[in-house]
């Protein structure tokens, strides 16, 4: 009898329903939030430990590239062809498909219709109001908000050739805006991760927040009336930090044929429908086309999400050392929120990290 496949999985309400369909032919080695998952997987793979299937993300897979099998010659053309081309491209690095996209992860704004007359259309409008905006005060979501504010104002992290291109004035403006939004939020905001933001929004502790598709089920059952709207626009652009969760096969895999078959199953319409039932936006084009709203608010959410996918998604350039940049940025931005670091110092930290990770 073959040994169970060893899986390393991202955990949380957005993801766990799919895992409930797994049988006795798998063993879950790690199940944790993505940053904790990445750290533990790096330890295991560096030590040569067997992992057969890995949950990863298009922005993290390049940093794991040395440990991953390219999937182009492993997955069937029909499977890859069933997935949204844009999602597939987000999961490529140096021409290689490092992970098979699980979903299209794009943020939209949710707002309290009993507290606000209309959703804020711009970040400046939001800041000029008395609305409390909730966001992650730590982790990748915090750096993602900085990136949204930066690009929305016309800034960038890299030039088209991948060289650092952060303008200090644009970075200062973005971090100053982030700090002002944070100062208005609850004291605990600096410790919030994704689930805490969703809980605060659903309970009415904040007036508006960005939410990933996986929070939809929670927000549908919120104790306050919530509606979805386009993400606030910056002075130059309306953007939403986006990406794709995906499935990868590490080189330490002990049963390649079984792992490929399992990833094919994870790419099936049936599995994508399970993810979609919790609000995720499936990467399979047939499932995405078939999504039907459950009510008027859900119809609004789907329409806003589709428009965002068409016009507003941004993501980071594929960068093997991206986690180092994100970690440095998160530490600097977290210091600004807790007032232990000044804005100018945070800008210099991010500039230094950009130079380091691109050398």
Mean pLDDT of 254-271: 97
Q: With cut-offs at 50, 70 and 90, classify the pLDDT of residue 161.
A: confident
Measured from the Cβ of residue 16, the count of other Cβ atoms closer than 10 Å reads 14
| Residue 290 belongs to some domain of the structure | no
Same domain, 122 and 215: yes
Identify which has the larger pLDDT, 321 or 175: 175
Asked if residue 292 is part of any domain, the answer here is no
Contacts of residue 129, defined as CB under 8 A and 6 or more positions apart, other chains included, come to 116, 120
- Do residues 274 and 181 both lie within one domain? no
Give yes or no for residue 53 having a pLDDT over 60: yes
Contact 269, 287 (CB under 8 A): yes
30 and 177 assigned to the same domain: no
Per-residue pLDDT tens for 131-145? Answer: 999 999 998 899 999
Structure-token pair, residue 336:
């600004």
Planar angle of CA 77, 83, 89, nearest 5 degrees: 90
Name the domain count of the chain: 2
Which of 268, 283, 298 corresponds to the end of one domain? 283
Tens of pLDDT, residues 185-235: 999 999 999 889 999 999 999 999 999 888 888 898 899 999 999 999 999
Same domain, residue pair 255 and 224: no
Burial of 28 (0-12, 13-18, 19+ CB in 10 A): middle
φ, ψ of residue 112 to 5 degrees: the values are -85, 115
Domain for residue 296, yes or no? no
Instruction: Report the pLDDT value the prediction gives residue 359, as an integer from 0 to 100.
Output: 60
DSSP helix/strand/coil, 93 = strand
Q: Are residues 337 and 188 part of one domain? A: yes
Task: Please check whether residues 179 and 316 belong to one and the same domain.
Answer: yes
Mean pLDDT to the nearest integer, 279-295: 90
Domain assignment present for 186? yes
- If asked whether residues 251 and 224 sit together in one domain, one would say no
Domain co-membership, 126 together with 173: yes
- What CATH number did the domain enclosing 223 receive? 3.40.190.10
Domain range enclosing 35: 5-104+244-283
In a domain, 294, yes or no: no
Same domain? For 111 and 99 the reply is no
Residue 1: the pLDDT is 46
Q: Which residue has the tokens 């999602």?
A: 87
Is it the case that residue 271 has pLDDT exceeding 90?
yes
Same-domain pairing of 68 and 170: no
Assess whether 72 and 131 both reside in one domain.
no
Residues 143 and 229 in one domain: yes
Q: Is residue 288 part of a domain?
A: no
Judge whether 19 lies within some domain: yes
264 assigned to some structural domain: yes
């Amino acid at each position: 009898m073959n040994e169970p496949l060893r899986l390393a999985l991202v955990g949380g309400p957005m993801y766990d329903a799919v895992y409930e369909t797994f049988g006795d032919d798998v063993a879950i080695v790690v199940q944790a939030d993505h940053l904790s998952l990445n750290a533990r997987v790096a330890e295991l793979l560096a030590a040569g430990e067997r992992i057969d299937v890995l949950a990863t993300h298009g922005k993290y897979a390049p940093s794991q590239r040395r440990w991953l099998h390219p999937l182009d010659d492993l997955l069937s053309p029909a499977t890859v062809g069933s997935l949204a081309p844009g999602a597939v491209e987000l999961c490529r690095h140096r021409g290689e498909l490092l992970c098979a996209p699980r979903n299209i992860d794009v943020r939209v704004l949710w707002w309290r219709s009993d507290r606000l007359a209309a959703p804020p259309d711009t970040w400046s409008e939001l800041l000029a109001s008395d609305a409390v905006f909730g966001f992650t005060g730590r982790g990748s979501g915090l750096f993602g908000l900085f990136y949204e504010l930066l690009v929305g104002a016309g800034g960038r992290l890299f030039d088209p050739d991948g060289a650092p291109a952060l303008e200090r004035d644009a970075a200062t403006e973005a971090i100053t805006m982030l700090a002002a939004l944070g100062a208005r939020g609850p004291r605990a905001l600096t410790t919030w991760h994704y689930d805490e933001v969703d809980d605060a929004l659903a309970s009415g502790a904040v007036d508006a927040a960005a939410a990933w598709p996986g929070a939809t089920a929670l927000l549908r059952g919120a104790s306050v009336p919530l509606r979805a709207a386009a993400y606030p626009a910056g002075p130059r652009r309306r953007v939403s930090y986006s990406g794709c969760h995906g499935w990868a096969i590490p080189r330490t895999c002990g049963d390649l044929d079984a792992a490929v078959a399992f990833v094919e199953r994870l790419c099936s319409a049936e599995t994508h429908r399970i993810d979609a039932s919790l609000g995720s936006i499936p990467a399979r084009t047939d499932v995405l086309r078939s999504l039907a709203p459950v009510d008027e608010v859900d119809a609004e959410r789907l329409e806003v999400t589709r428009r965002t996918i068409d016009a507003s998604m941004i993501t980071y350039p594929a960068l093997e050392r991206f986690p180092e940049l994100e970690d440095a940025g998160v530490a600097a931005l977290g210091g600004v929120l807790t007032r232990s670091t000044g804005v100018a110092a945070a800008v210099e930290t991010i500039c230094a990290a950009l130079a380091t990770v691109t050398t």
